[in-house]
Amino acid sequence: MIVCIAEKPSVAKDIAQIVGAQERKDGYYQGNGYQVTWTFGHLFTLKEPHDYNPNWKYWYLEDLPIIPANFGIKLISNKGVEKQFKVIESLIAECEEVINCGDAGQEGELIQRWVLLKAKCKVPVKRLWISSLTEESIKEGFENLKDSSHYENLYVAGSARAIGDWLLGINATRLFTKKFATNKTLLSIGRVQTPTLAMIVQRQKEIDSFVTEEYWELKTIYKNVEFTADMDRLKSEERAKKGLEYLQNYSFEIISFEKKEGKEKNPRLFDLTSLQVEANKKYGYSADNTLKYIQHLYEKKYVTYPRVDTTYLSEDLYPKIYGILSSMKYYENLISPLLENPIPKSKAVFDDSKVTDHHAIIPTDILPESLSSDEKKIYDLVARRFIAVFYPECKISNTFVTSKVGEIIFKASGKQILEPGWKTIYEQDKKNEKEENLIPIFESGEVGPHDPFIHQGKTTPPKYFTEATLLRSMETAGKHVEDEEMRELLKDNGIGRPSTRANIIETLLHRKYIEKKRKHIYATSTGIDLIDIIPSEILKSVELTGLWEKKLRLIEKGEYSYELFKKELIEMVTGLIQEVKNSQYRRISIQEKKNMEISDNSKKQSQSLRSVEDLFCPKCKTHKLLKGKSAYGCSDFKNCNFTIPFEVYGKKLTFKQISDIIGKGKTSKIKGFIFPESNEKREGSLLFNENFGIVFENSPS
């Protein structure tokens, strides 16, 4: 008898029909020499600390680090799980061969291997590896079964990931909770969760500390085209008015006119992250919901395996593309032009070197039926993207005009679509696109009257993260990258895996470290407090976490040692614990932390802190300030020598300026500083040096 183990009952049912196991039993199907059973996702988990040592059930700093000599797994405590495992165990005990039919990915491999390990499987194990659940794909998979050893590195990488997350999560969470938390507050630390939160907190602080400044630009209208002066933004209205007066005295002259034809490349096929990004931008769907909808479509056999991180197809899929396109009857008007000629085989679509476990997400040749409205929208995104990659490129015309008024250079540019190509697929989205900036033909040397004017604007703070931009930042290790090819290169250093990023965001929301308001993601005071009390950059660094992810991928490829990865993690965790244990940080309450942070945008704090004496010393972070004859100083004057003078370089500091430098480490620009050696008036910012002395960061006024 051959035992097939699927990851879900629904998948087991599909496999049973194809192999001829038609008889339904308790926990499995049987027939034609096969028994087809299933798991419910994870049946096993890594053991908890107290499973190794009863004393580790209690949280004591002196017990850290907790590092078991050997890691073990245990059955999840659930009656349904326990019953199903007994079924699997009994089937494996009597069979001649096992076929691992788990999800074809790292997590799916780990789930199945743990089951086989605990069931003490001693018979040969084969692996079913498929990219869709269609009958054709499953049959092909059974015709091309591989020995389980072919996927050994995938299992090792999954184990390394699970153990790494356990080591860091257990130790760091206990460490920071016991060292810093009060009132039984849990400070949860995670290998991917914490650097993701750190990105959000950093963005929040940049926004909170941003000082809006007014600026002025010189513009002019010539032949109904708006031109902008090619110069830095002006910082004063007076200078702008002088500039306008200057422009009114001269005619407008064209220096050069250039028109270039170019192409806009077709979009890439979807991987999971890019699909989640697009669904969030277009429909406001959370990453978690998009994953849920695309998983439903996969299980209904309408799309291929979704938990992928590539935007390419394997070259052996090319012969099947015509048939898939022909089957997509709902898009017949868009597909008909494609079917008149051979389907192009572009390296931007078909590239074996860019495909690892699976290819990009595409539709199958099964026509979808009975979809929910949300599933329809996600399917439509996948279907249109699949069609678009085979269309011609979009041809455009870019226009660049350089001109001058007197000695001031002005520029204008425009874009015109000549042949829409693949953009035809997205005609319904045209209303969301900016109107084309059509520019008439100009002749070099032509001169004429113009209408100059002043444009007044304000600088804007960085934008809050949305789920779309946060997913992109996780994928590219915090780097802002628009180019798709560059994003592909950075994926190996991204944090988390495509299948887990949605769960990381949901975890941060559940723990109330972040919150969503419409599409925007905000760090809560709890989330900010957590990041602020973590002294080690190792836990907060997106780049370092990205390097760990790269090592895990190298383990998967057999190019990095599991033992070395584990050794490095143990050394890092041990070093972190010693650093924090030996640090002088004292345990603080959330309320104390709030009092230490002064924010311009926090009305509650500005109401409760009405004088400098209400502020905590920025050096020791423990005692409040006292007023002296010429300066404020730490009330613990015997042990802390911090002072901040009332007046710096002839400028008396306001409460807001003092609270800014204490809360943020820096003031906004202040005018009127006087330097005695030159008697020169200057403007600039005040900030602390490493010894908490005040230094001047200047810019001439």
Quickly count: other Cβ atoms within 10 Å of residue 654's Cβ. 12
User: Taking the CA atoms of the chain, what radius of gyration do you get in angstroms?
Assistant: 31
Catalytic residue, from 305, 312, 391, 649: name it. Answer: 305
**Which CB contacts under 8 angstroms, 24+ apart, belong to 24-30?**
26/87, 27/83, 27/84, 27/87, 27/88, 28/87, 28/91
Per the CB < 8 A criterion, the answer to whether 580 and 601 are in contact is no
The one-character DSSP state at 692 is S
What does the block give as tokens for 125?
């194990």
Of 298, 277, 302, 236, whose CA–CA distance to 104 is shortest?
298
Q: Is 125 helix (H, G, I), strand (E, B) or coil?
A: strand
**635, amino acid identity:** S
Q: What angle do CA 274, 503, 361 make, to 5 degrees?
A: 30
CA atoms within 13 A on the CB side of 2: 19
DSSP-assigned beta bridge partners for residue 75: 44
Of 372, 384, 403, whose CA–CA distance to 293 is shortest?
372
The one-character DSSP state at 349 is T
Residue 246 annotated as catalytic: no
| Residue ranges of E strands in 362-407 | 394-405
**88, amino acid identity:** I
672: left (phi over 0), alpha (psi -120 to 50) or beta: left
How far out from the chain centre does Cα 552 lie?
Answer: 18
Measured CA to CA in angstroms, residue 226 lies from 253, 455, 544, 547 at distances of 14, 11, 46, 47
DSSP-assigned beta bridge partners for residue 456: 216
Cα 75 to Cα 73: distance, rounded to the nearest angstrom: 7
Catalytic residues: 305
